């Protein structure tokens, strides 16, 4: 009996042939059918497909032949949606796109996000909620394309998360007047905070408070870390803090001050901190220097090596001084480097030295 079941299943699978009409329509659009067979052959086996109709909608939006082919190769399941579904999705995304030129560009880059029509009602409710909250459309499109599952959730889930953030902001001493600005800034800097749960947010804030960070200091860390703190766990933060304490041989209070000075000590995992520390030590930099300017641990080993090489070429010795010249953003470094370079190149001029005139 089990043999009969297996053989029936095999026969059914083999009996399902590719839809010739679909293949012909895709072929006319210069779509690489081999690519679809390799990645998502099941699309070609469906009885009903809307190749011409979906291609037509994309062309109406301004997609040329190459763009249409690329979109359908990357997301062939697009042809299984009805034209009505795609028209609805088009109108929905137009709520946050400046024009159809921007929309078609987003579809080219993120076709899977656009052609997910299953959660239409949730998507619409969430877009309207974020707009009412005051979030800019460019941030909403960033979320729609790179974290679309935020919009698949019922809008109540996102509302609860925002309320949790607002409640904690006020309980940490933030003012009612600044709360909206703080929330919008947080979401603009790191909209992926919405991928977290209310419980995770609560646990992370409680961890900091248990480690003797005052409410004001916790708020300070939230601003400096741009909400990335919510992507951590109490366990990973604990490990990173213990690692830093062992390396710098400091008290709990001193460690807290180092973390406030350089939140990377809290944010980066132990392996990352270890690698960056080793990279600095190999260059002859001491632990004492790193403790004085811990922000250098925010830089990757490659960036550190590049900057040390550039400064060494000017004769600048990092081993004997501070690491401030090494620190900062790319722009900060270039400014510091320029100052050191101009100081080195400037001729030494003594205004009271006698002028030698040849006869």
Of 111, 41, 48, which is closest to residue 81 (Cα–Cα)? 48
Residue 343: the pLDDT is 76
Condensed to tens digits (0 to 9), the pLDDT of residues 21-49 reads 999 999 999 999 999 999 999 999 999 99
Query: Residue 87: pLDDT above 70?
Result: yes
323: confidence class by pLDDT, cuts 50, 70, 90: confident
Query: Residue 357: pLDDT above 50?
Result: no
The average confidence (pLDDT) of the chain is: 87
Spatial contact of 258 and 248, defined as CB atoms under 8 Å apart: yes
Mean pLDDT value across residues 296-302: 91
Spatial contact of 301 and 325, defined as CB atoms under 8 Å apart: no
Helix (H) or strand (E) holding 143: helix 137-146
Residue 10: the pLDDT is 37
Query: Residue 288: pLDDT above 50?
Result: yes
Spatial contact of 326 and 296, defined as CB atoms under 8 Å apart: yes
Mean pLDDT value across residues 328-334: 85
- Measured CA to CA, the distance from residue 127 to residue 255 in angstroms comes to 42
Mean pLDDT value across residues 304-314: 87
Mean pLDDT value across residues 97-123: 94
Write down the pTM of the prediction: 0.76
**Helix, strand, coil fractions of the chain, as percent rounded to 5:** 70, 0, 30
- Measured CA to CA, the distance from residue 267 to residue 228 in angstroms comes to 8
Mean pLDDT value across residues 102-125: 94
Spatial contact of 229 and 221, defined as CB atoms under 8 Å apart: yes
239: confidence class by pLDDT, cuts 50, 70, 90: very high
Residue 2: the pLDDT is 41
Terminal CA-to-CA distance of the chain, rounded, Å? 119
310: confidence class by pLDDT, cuts 50, 70, 90: confident
Helix axes 51-60, 83-93, angle to 10 degrees: 20
Of 236, 308, 305, which is closest to residue 272 (Cα–Cα)? 236
Q: Tell me, what DSSP letter sits at residue 193?
A: G
Helix (H) or strand (E) holding 198: helix 198-210
- Measured CA to CA, the distance from residue 262 to residue 224 in angstroms comes to 9
Residue 337: the pLDDT is 82
Tokens of 283: 């260059």
Condensed to tens digits (0 to 9), the pLDDT of residues 207-230 reads 999 999 999 999 888 888 887 888
pLDDT-above-90 percentage for the chain? 61
Mean pLDDT value across residues 264-290: 92
- Measured CA to CA, the distance from residue 281 to residue 296 in angstroms comes to 12
Residue 9: the pLDDT is 35
11: confidence class by pLDDT, cuts 50, 70, 90: very low
Residue 324: the pLDDT is 83
- DSSP string covering 235-279: HHHHHHHHHHHHHHT--HHHHHHHHHH-THHHHS-HHHHHHHHHH
- Measured CA to CA, the distance from residue 215 to residue 221 in angstroms comes to 10
Spatial contact of 273 and 236, defined as CB atoms under 8 Å apart: no
Determine the distance from the C-alpha atom of residue 128 to the mean position of all C-alpha atoms in its chain, rounded to a whole number: 23
Judged by average pLDDT, the poorest of 98-102, 103-107, 347-351 is: 347-351
140: confidence class by pLDDT, cuts 50, 70, 90: very high
Which of 249-268 are b and which e, b meaning 16 or more Cβ less than 10 Å from the residue's Cβ? eeeeeebbebbeebbbbbbb
Length of the chain: 359
Q: Tell me, what DSSP letter sits at residue 173?
A: T
Long-range contacts of 96-103 (CB under 8 A, 24+ apart): 96/127, 96/131, 96/137, 96/140, 96/141, 96/144, 97/137, 97/141, 98/137, 100/61, 100/62, 101/62, 102/141, 103/61
Query: Residue 7: pLDDT above 60?
Result: no
Three-state DSSP at 220 gives helix
Condensed to tens digits (0 to 9), the pLDDT of residues 141-188 reads 999 998 898 999 999 999 999 999 999 999 999 999 999 999 998 888
Residue 346: the pLDDT is 58
């Amino acid at each position: 009996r089990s043999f009969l079941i297996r053989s029936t299943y095999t026969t059914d699978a083999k009996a399902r042939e590719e839809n010739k009409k679909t293949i012909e329509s895709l072929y006319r659009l210069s779509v690489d059918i081999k690519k679809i067979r390799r990645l998502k052959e099941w699309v070609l086996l469906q009885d009903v497909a809307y190749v011409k109709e979906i291609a037509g909608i994309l062309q109406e939006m301004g997609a040329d032949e190459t763009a249409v082919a690329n979109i359908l190769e990357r997301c062939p399941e697009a042809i299984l949606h009805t034209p009505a579904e795609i028209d609805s999705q088009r109108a929905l995304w137009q709520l946050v796109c400046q024009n159809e030129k921007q929309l078609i560009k987003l579809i080219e880059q993120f076709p899977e996000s656009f052609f997910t029509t299953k959660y239409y009602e949730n998507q619409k409710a969430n877009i309207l909620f974020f707009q009412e909250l005051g979030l800019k459309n460019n941030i909403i499109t960033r979320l729609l394309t790179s974290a679309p599952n935020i919009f698949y959730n019922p809008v109540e889930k996102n509302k609860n998360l925002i309320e949790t953030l607002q409640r904690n902001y006020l309980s940490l001493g933030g003012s009612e007047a600044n709360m909206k600005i703080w929330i919008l800034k947080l979401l603009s800097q790191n909209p992926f905070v919405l991928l977290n749960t209310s419980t995770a947010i609560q646990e992370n804030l409680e961890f900091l408070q248990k480690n003797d960070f005052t409410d004001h200091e916790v708020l300070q860390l939230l601003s400096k870390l741009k909400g990335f703190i919510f992507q951590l766990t109490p366990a990973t933060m604990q490990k990173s803090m213990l690692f830093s304490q062992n390396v710098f041989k400091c008290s709990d209070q001193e460690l807290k001050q180092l973390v406030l000075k350089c939140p990377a000590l809290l944010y980066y995992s132990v392996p990352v901190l270890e690698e960056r520390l080793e990279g600095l030590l190999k260059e002859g930099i001491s632990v004492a220097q790193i403790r004085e300017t811990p922000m250098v641990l925010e830089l990757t080993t490659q960036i550190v090596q590049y900057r040390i090489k550039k400064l060494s070429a000017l004769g600048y010795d990092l081993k004997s001084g501070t690491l401030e010249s090494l620190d900062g953003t790319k722009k900060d470094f270039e400014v510091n480097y320029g100052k050191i370079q101009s100081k080195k190149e400037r001729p030494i001029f003594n205004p009271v030295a006698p002028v030698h005139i040849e006869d």
